Amino acid sequence: MRSDHDVLLVIDVQNDFCPGGNLAVPGGDEVVPVINRLAPEFHHVVLTQDWHPAEHSSFASRHHQKSPFDTVDMHYGPQTLWPDHCIQDTHGAAFHRDLDIPQAQLIIRKGFRHGIDSYSAFFENDRTTPTGLGGYLRERGIRKVVCVGLAFDYCVRFSAEDARRLGFETEVITAACRAIDLGGTADAARRSFAEHGVALT
């Protein structure tokens, strides 16, 4: 068993990020059995769930003459535009059916505000609006955050870096992640992890 001061943070293992989904991460479903094997080692498990309203501002469909993966300037900075995905109460937003973590203690929903996207489990993309997860983990005596899930170079990256920024020891288990890898974003994530002191195992 892992220390009672460790938490497994399972990030966005949802249908739309798996093969056949609206924003499928290559091999996204391959993380499920790995995570299912890891989870029983932890006393504390938290899940995150992308949870967008139907007309979210990060959807390319909401921007005239823009396509998925274009970038636009939002009030909080540059924003990648995505295909419509993980819309509240849809099949795409549901967790993958084979994800088996009944002992998870908390689900953090993110991206539910219409005007701002949220990659990190800790902060929205303005980098200042908190989800409350940091306070929750401190109240529970957590010292180390272990990140797994989808996608390695977006929501896993932002979550891990914010965990470090908040003072938690942070680890990313690469076998339990998959990347979108838009123009080298996976390598950029690895370099950034090294700079921020995030351990890759």
Domain of 108, CATH number, reads: 3.40.50.850
Report the number of distinct structural domains present in the chain.
Answer: 1
Bridge-partner residues for 147, per DSSP?
Answer: 9, 172
Determine which helix (DSSP H) or strand (DSSP E) holds 145, and give its type and residue range: strand 144-150
Q: What is the spatial distance between Cα 81 and Cα 59, in angstroms, rounded to a whole number?
A: 5
Secondary structure (DSSP) of 13-51: -BGGGSTTSTTPPTTGGGHHHHHHHHGGG-SEEEEEEE-
Domain annotation covers residue 80: no
Domain annotation covers residue 72: no
The answer to whether the Cα torsion of 130, 105, 113, 85 is positive or negative is positive
pLDDT of residue 116: 96
Residue 136 CA: distances (Å) to CA of 9, 102, 112, 131, 140: 13, 19, 19, 10, 6
User: Assign residue 167 a region: left if phi > 0, alpha if psi is -120 to 50, beta otherwise?
Assistant: left
Domain annotation covers residue 195: yes
The mean pLDDT of 74-86, rounded to a whole number, is 95
Structural domain containing residue 158: 6-53+86-200
**Which positions are catalytic?**
12, 110, 155
Domain annotation covers residue 79: no
Domain annotation covers residue 70: no
Q: What is the spatial distance between Cα 188 and Cα 44, in angstroms, rounded to a whole number?
A: 29
pLDDT of residue 4: 96
Domain annotation covers residue 124: yes
pLDDT tens column, 173-185: 999 999 999 999 9
Domain annotation covers residue 78: no
Six-digit token string for 150? 């989808």
pLDDT tens column, 102-160: 999 999 999 999 999 999 999 999 999 999 999 999 999 999 999 999 999 999 999 99
Domain annotation covers residue 161: yes
